[in-house]
């Protein structure tokens, strides 16, 4: 494959409808839900209203049993129960860190497992959601990058991660009881396993469901999608999702970024920045988060900091410095605290917020890039890595 060949994604998403089983309603968009109900006998005239009712039961009240949908007739509830299920991933295990971070291992169809992390903060809480089992990309500092891509998650499996976390936090409102305005699960970051922009449609549909005002109702400004830099999908993210964007920048020269984030060989820093410049305009002036992992002696010099400022000039930006989370066999070391602070200082003095991400849930290995399921241990060979990423000349 030539260096310029497009990186394709030929993984299939499993069909929502299993051949012999009932249809899972979780993850269907409103339109899809309507079509599904009609296809199973709901009269077309009633379909819109039924969608609204069922939608609210599932996403606003967190119900999983049709029998509880009391504004539907008993006969209709029985019909629904015969044909459909309301299914979310099964929580296989849960670990709670001394700092309150919760890590769930959830099982999805096919027996695969993905991790979901809940990080409580003062007055809010963030859920770190996965979009794929493994990842096709091969960032050299990322543990997920050593795993093969097994498959894309379905929209239901993505929104299902939010639903299981709400179950565990006991945060579904109760009809008739006033809502508590401070939410335990108030923010979503697509920073778990996988590259969300290589599973675009499912991620989009899941986030649309999460944003829907008659359901989970999270504002688009409380959802952050992190990408390694899949340039052609960035404008589409602005148009079709409209959430906040974070980008795994991590280096200030193409030479270094090629090594850290190999997708850079396909879309280099300049091309990426061009797409990023357009994003705030398309989504109405939001700041872009530049994620920058601090690797000792690799990308952490004062010169790097100054180059970074130059590169992002003119982009409304915040630089999030991530102390490298080391994993066994990792080819890098974390920069010293002093180095990280000095780097942060240079960025800050240039007028950009430059928070240093405090590692959370370290005792339960809940940090970025460490999410890895026990069942997906297959490691890629170097050749496979290069071939899958379409980077081999």
Q: How many Å is the maximal CA-CA distance in the chain?
A: 70
First and final CA of the chain: distance in angstroms? 6
Distance between CA atoms of residues 304 and 271, nearest Å: 19
Q: Is 82 helix (H, G, I), strand (E, B) or coil?
A: helix
Using the rule CB under 6 A, give the single segment among 137-145, 160-168, 238-246, 269-277 that binds ligand SF4: 137-145
Catalytic residues: 115, 368
Distance between CA atoms of residues 393 and 387, nearest Å: 9
Using the rule CB under 6 A, give the single segment among 8-16, 85-93, 131-139, 203-211 that binds ligand SF4: 131-139
- Quick check: 142 binds ligand SF4 (CB under 6 A)? yes
Pick the closer one to ligand SF4 by CB: 137 or 203: 137
The string of DSSP codes covering 305-320 is: HHHHHHHHTTS-EEEE
- Of 178-217, binders to ligand SAH (CB under 6 A) are 191, 194-195
Among 27, 62, 89, 145, binds ligand SF4 (CB under 6 A): 145
Across the strands, what pairs with 104?
94, 116
Using the rule CB under 6 A, give the single segment among 114-122, 139-147, 204-212, 326-334 that binds ligand SF4: 139-147
For residue 349, how many other CB atoms are within 10 A of its CB?
Answer: 11
Q: How far is the CB of 194 from ligand SF4 (least distance, A)?
A: 6
Distance between CA atoms of residues 104 and 201, nearest Å: 24
How many amino acids of this chain bind ligand SF4 (CB under 6 A)?
A: 11
Among 115, 195, 291, 376, binds ligand SF4 (CB under 6 A): 195
- Quick check: 293 binds ligand SAH (CB under 6 A)? yes
Structure tokens belonging to residue 196:
């969300």
Pick the closer one to ligand SAH by CB: 25 or 275: 275
For residue 94, how many other CB atoms are within 10 A of its CB?
Answer: 15
Using the rule CB under 6 A, give the single segment among 91-99, 138-146, 182-190, 271-279 that binds ligand SF4: 138-146
In degrees and rounded to multiples of 5, residue 326 shows phi and psi of: -75, 145
Distance between CA atoms of residues 296 and 158, nearest Å: 34
Q: How far is the CB of 131 from ligand SF4 (least distance, A)?
A: 9
Pick the closer one to ligand SF4 by CB: 194 or 361: 194
Q: Where are the beta strands (DSSP E) in 109-190?
A: 112-121, 124-128, 132-133, 151-152, 187-190
- Quick check: 224 binds ligand SF4 (CB under 6 A)? no
Partner from ligand SF4, ligand SAH, none binding residue 252, C-beta < 5-8 Å depending on class:
none
Q: Is 85 helix (H, G, I), strand (E, B) or coil?
A: strand
- Quick check: 228 binds ligand SF4 (CB under 6 A)? yes
Q: How far is the CB of 143 from ligand SF4 (least distance, A)?
A: 8
Binding site for ligand SF4 (CB under 6 A): 135, 137-139, 142, 144-145, 194-195, 228, 248
């Amino acid at each position: 494959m030539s260096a310029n060949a497009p990186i394709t994604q030929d993984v299939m998403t499993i069909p929502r409808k299993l051949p012999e089983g009932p249809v899972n309603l979780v993850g269907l968009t409103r339109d899809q839900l309507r079509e599904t109900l009609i296809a199973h006998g709901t009269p077309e005239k009633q379909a819109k209203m039924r969608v609204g009712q069922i939608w609210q039961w599932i996403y606003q009240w967190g119900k999983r049993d049709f029998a509880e949908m009391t504004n539907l007739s008993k006969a209709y509830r029985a019909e629904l129960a015969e044909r459909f299920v309301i299914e979310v991933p099964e929580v296989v295990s849960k670990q709670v860190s001394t700092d309150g971070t919760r890590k769930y291992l959830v099982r999805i169809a096919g027996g695969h497992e993905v991790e979901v992390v809940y990080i409580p903060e003062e007055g809010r809480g963030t859920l770190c959601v996965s979009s794929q089992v493994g990842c096709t990309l091969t960032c050299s500092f990322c543990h997920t990058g050593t795993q093969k891509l097994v498959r894309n998650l379905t929209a239901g499996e993505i929104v299902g991660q939010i639903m299981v976390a709400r179950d565990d936090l006991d945060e579904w409102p109760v009809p008739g009881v006033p809502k508590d305005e401070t939410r335990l699960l108030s923010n979503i970051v697509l920073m778990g396993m996988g590259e969300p922009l290589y599973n675009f449609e499912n991620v989009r549909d899941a986030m649309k469901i999460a944003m829907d005002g008659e359901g989970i109702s999270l504002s688009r400004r409380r959802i952050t999608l992190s990408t390694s830099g899949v340039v052609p999908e960035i404008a589409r993210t602005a148009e079709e999702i409209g959430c906040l964007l974070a980008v795994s920048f991590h280096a200030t020269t193409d030479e270094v970024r090629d090594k850290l984030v190999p997708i850079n060989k396909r879309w280099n820093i300049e091309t990426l920045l061009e797409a990023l410049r357009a994003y705030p305009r398309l989504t109405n002036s939001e700041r872009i988060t530049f994620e920058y992992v601090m690797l000792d002696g690799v990308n952490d010099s004062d010169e790097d900091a100054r180059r970074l400022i130059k590169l992002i000039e003119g982009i409304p930006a915040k630089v999030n410095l991530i102390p490298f989370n080391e994993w066994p066999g990792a080819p890098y070391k974390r920069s010293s605290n002093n180095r990280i602070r000095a780097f942060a200082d240079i960025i800050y003095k240039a007028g950009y917020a430059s928070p240093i991400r405090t590692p959370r849930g370290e005792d339960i290995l809940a940090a970025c890039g460490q999410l890895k399921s026990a069942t997906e241990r297959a490691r890629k060979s170097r050749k496979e890595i290069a071939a899958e990423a379409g980077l081999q000349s």
